């Protein structure tokens, strides 16, 4: 499996992650149902406002699903940042992973590697983590 993602979205996710440091940043990229294409980015508010947890607010979550339902879209990418650890799914990430069809993108903005960042993509299905390659397009 490979995640194909526009460099604009990669830049936007990294910028959002830096802006929300030291808290976790989060959001989704959606695309037409069945296409698997990440075409429309929607940054979300981290209701937890925490460096070690992120969560979409309940009403934001409902609004997101209503909107993409109306537009015949689905969630293609769920992204969030790790401000203090590597870009790899935590136990909490695995416990909460509820979209088996989504690419889970993790970004690390931890201080030890700054200004370098990590950008990695995973599938998380039934508790198993499968890393996939990332193909950055124009």
Partner 1 sequence: MSIEVRIPTIMRPFTKDQKVVTATGATLSAAITDLDNQYPGIGDRLLENGVLRRFINVYVNDEDVRFSGALDTALKSGDSITILPAVAGG
Output 58 or 115, the one with its CB closest to partner 1.
58
Cα gap 126→2, rounded to integer Å: 19
What is the smallest separation between the CB atom of 36 and partner 1, expressed in angstroms?
14
Output 2 or 101, the one with its CB closest to partner 1.
101
Q: Report yes or no: 13 and 28 within 8 Å, Cβ to Cβ.
A: no
What is the smallest separation between the CB atom of 7 and partner 1, expressed in angstroms?
24
E strand or H helix at 62: helix 58-70
Output 6 or 90, the one with its CB closest to partner 1.
90
Tell how strand 73-82 and strand 40-44 pair up.
Answer: unpaired
* φ, ψ of residue 52 in degrees (nearest 5): -125, 10
What is the smallest separation between the CB atom of 68 and partner 1, expressed in angstroms?
12
Output 36 or 136, the one with its CB closest to partner 1.
36
Q: Enumerate binding residues for partner 1 (CB under 8 A).
A: 26, 28, 44, 48, 52-56, 58-59, 61-62, 65, 78, 80, 89-93, 95-101
CB neighbour list of residue 62: distance below 8 Å, 6 or more residues apart: none
What is the smallest separation between the CB atom of 69 and partner 1, expressed in angstroms?
9
Output 3 or 80, the one with its CB closest to partner 1.
80
CB neighbour list of residue 138: distance below 8 Å, 6 or more residues apart: 6, 7
Cα gap 86→31, rounded to integer Å: 27
What is the smallest separation between the CB atom of 81 and partner 1, expressed in angstroms?
11
């Amino acid at each position: 499996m490979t995640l194909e993602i526009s460099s604009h979205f990669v830049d936007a996710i990294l910028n959002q992650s830096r802006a929300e440091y030291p808290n976790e940043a989060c959001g989704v990229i959606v695309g037409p149902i069945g296409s698997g294409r990440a075409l429309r980015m929607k940054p979300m508010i981290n209701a937890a406002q925490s460096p070690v947890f992120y969560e979409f607010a309940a009403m934001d979550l409902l609004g997101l699903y209503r909107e993409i339902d109306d537009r015949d879209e689905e969630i293609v990418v769920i992204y969030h940042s790790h401000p203090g650890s590597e870009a790899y799914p935590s136990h909490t990430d695995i416990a909460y992973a509820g979209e088996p069809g989504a690419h889970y993108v993790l970004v690390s903005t931890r201080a030890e590697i700054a200004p370098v960042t990590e950008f990695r993509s995973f599938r998380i299905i039934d508790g198993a983590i499968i890393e996939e390659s990332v193909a950055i397009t124009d």
